[in-house]
C-alpha cells in the first residue's frame, strides 16, 4: 500500500468530438494498491482505463508510468502496454484456440518467450486460476466464469506490473461472479497492483485500498472504502451509492 508510485495521471482530458468525456483527471496508484473505480454508466470509467492502456489517445495531460512520462509520439507504447494487463467485460478469447494456446499466444509472439517456457508458465497460471484441468479445452466449452479466469490468466502471462479490470463480472450469470472475484482477491493478496471498474460493492469494501467515485467525467471523491461507503463527503457520492445499494 505504501510502495512506489506505479501510475500517476495529471490533468488528463479526453473528448470524442464535442463530447468531453474525461475532465482534468488526477489519480495516483502505488505499487500493490487495489483501486476500485465506481460511477454510473457513461461517467468515463472505461475511457479512463483505455487511456491508461493507451487504447485511447488522450487529448492532453500527463500519464506517468513507473516514473516516466509516456508520450504517444516518443514512447514505444507497445512496451508500456506489455506491462499493463487488461481484462474486459467480454473475454475476447480466441475461439479457435484452446485455453493454453490462448494464454501462450502473446508471450510467444509479442515477448518472444520460447514456446516450452510459455507453456510451463501457462500451466502455473492455469493452476492459479483453478483451471489446471482445462488446458486443452476450447473456449466454447467453458462457462462465462471459466472464460473470464482464462482471460485473467492470459493477461497475467505477459507478467504485467499492473492489471486493469473493466467490469470483469458484469456479463456473468450471478452464480459465476464469485469465482472470478475470488481469483481477483487472490491476485490482490499476492500484491498485484490493480485498478478495477466494478459494481460489486462487496468486493470494493473488502479488497480495495482506495475507492474512486467518478461522475460526468470527473473524479468526485477518493477515499478508503469504509469512508466512501459509510460516510461519503460528497452529496453526489451518497446519491450514487443510495441508487445502487
Ligand atoms: P463508463 O465506462 O463509465 O460507462 P465510458 O468511458 O464508456 O463510460 O463512456 C463515457 C462517455 O463517452 C459516454 O457518453 C460514451 O457514450 C462516450 N464514448 C465512449 N467511447 C466513445 C467513442 N469511441 N466514441 C464516441 N463516444 C464514446
Ligand atoms: Mg464502461
Residue 27 CA to residue 78 CA, distance in Å, equals 22
ipTM over 0.85: yes
Residue 43 Cβ inside 6 Å of ligand 1? The answer reads yes
Residue 91 CA to residue 166 CA, distance in Å, equals 11
Residue 45 Cβ inside 6 Å of ligand 1? The answer reads yes
Residue 16 Cβ inside 6 Å of ligand 1? The answer reads yes
- Gap from CA of 217 to ligand 1 centroid (Å): 10
Residue 42 Cβ inside 6 Å of ligand 1? The answer reads yes
Residue ranges per structural domain of the chain: 5-92+161-243
All three cell numbers of 131: 483451471
| pLDDT (0 to 100) of residue 77 | 85
- Gap from CA of 108 to ligand 2 centroid (Å): 30
Per residue of the chain (245 residues), give pLDDT as tens: 457 999 999 999 999 999 999 999 999 999 999 999 999 999 999 999 999 999 999 999 999 999 999 987 777 888 889 999 999 999 899 999 999 999 999 999 999 999 999 999 999 999 999 999 999 999 999 999 999 999 999 999 999 999 999 999 999 999 999 999 999 999 999 999 999 999 999 999 999 999 999 999 999 999 999 999 999 999 999 999 999 87
Compute how many other C-beta atoms are within 10 angstroms of the C-beta atom of residue 221: 19
Which ligand 1 atom is the nearest neighbour of the CA of 40? 3
CATH code given to domain 5-92+161-243: 3.40.50.300
| pLDDT (0 to 100) of residue 36 | 98
Which residue's CA is minimally distant from atom 24 of ligand 1? 16
Q: Residue holding cell 482445462?
A: 134
**Signed CA dihedral, 207, 93, 88, 65: sign only:** positive
Residue 21 Cβ inside 6 Å of ligand 1? The answer reads yes
- Gap from CA of 13 to ligand 1 centroid (Å): 13
- Gap from CA of 126 to ligand 1 centroid (Å): 33
Q: Residue holding cell 492489471?
A: 163
Q: What are the contacts of 57-62 at 24+ separation with CB within 8 A?
A: 58/12, 58/13, 58/14, 58/22, 59/13, 59/14, 59/15, 60/11, 60/12, 60/13, 61/9, 61/10, 61/11, 61/12, 61/13, 61/24, 61/25, 62/8, 62/9, 62/10, 62/11, 62/12
All three cell numbers of 10: 495529471
Which ligand 1 atom is the nearest neighbour of the CA of 43? 3
All three cell numbers of 230: 459509510
Ligand nearest to the CA of 39: 1
| pLDDT (0 to 100) of residue 78 | 84
Q: How far is CA 103 from the centre of its chain?
A: 17
CA atoms within 13 A on the CB side of 188: 23
Amino acid at each position: 500500500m505504501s510502495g512506489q508510485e506505479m501510475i500517476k495521471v495529471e490533468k488528463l482530458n479526453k473528448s470524442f468530438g464535442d463530447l468531453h468525456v474525461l475532465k482534468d483527471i488526477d489519480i495516483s496508484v502505488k505499487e500493490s494498491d487495489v483501486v476500485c473505480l465506481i460511477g454510473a454508466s457513461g461517467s468515463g470509467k472505461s475511457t479512463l482505463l483505455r487511456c491508461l492502456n493507451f487504447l485511447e489517445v488522450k487529448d492532453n495531460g500527463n500519464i506517468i508510468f513507473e516514473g516516466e512520462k509516456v508520450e504517444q509520439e516518443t514512447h514505444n507504447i507497445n512496451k508500456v502496454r506489455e506491462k499493463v494487463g487488461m481484462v474486459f467485460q467480454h473475454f475476447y478469447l480466441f475461439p479457435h484456440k484452446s485455453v493454453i494456446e490462448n494464454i501462450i499466444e502473446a508471450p510467444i509472439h509479442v515477448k518472444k518467450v520460447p514456446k516450452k517456457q510459455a507453456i510451463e508458465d501457462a500451466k502455473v497460471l492455469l493452476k492459479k486460476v483453478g483451471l489446471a484441468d482445462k488446458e486443452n479445452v476450447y473456449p466454447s466449452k467453458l462457462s462465462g466464469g471459466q472464460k473470464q479466469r482464462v482471460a485473467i490468466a492470459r493477461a497475467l502471462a505477459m507478467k504485467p506490473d499492473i492489471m486493469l479490470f473493466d467490469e470483469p463480472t458484469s456479463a456473468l450469470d450471478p452464480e459465476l461472479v464469485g469465482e472470478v472475484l475470488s481469483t481477483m482477491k487472490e491476485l490482490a493478496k499476492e500484491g498485484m497492483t490493480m485498478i478495477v471498474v466494478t459494481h460489486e460493492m462487496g468486493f470494493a469494501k473488502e479488497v480495495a485500498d482506495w475507492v474512486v467515485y467518478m461522475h460526468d467525467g470527473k473524479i468526485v471523491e477518493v477515499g478508503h472504502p469504509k469512508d466512501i461507503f459509510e460516510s461519503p463527503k460528497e452529496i453526489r457520492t451518497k446519491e450514487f451509492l443510495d441508487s445502487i445499494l
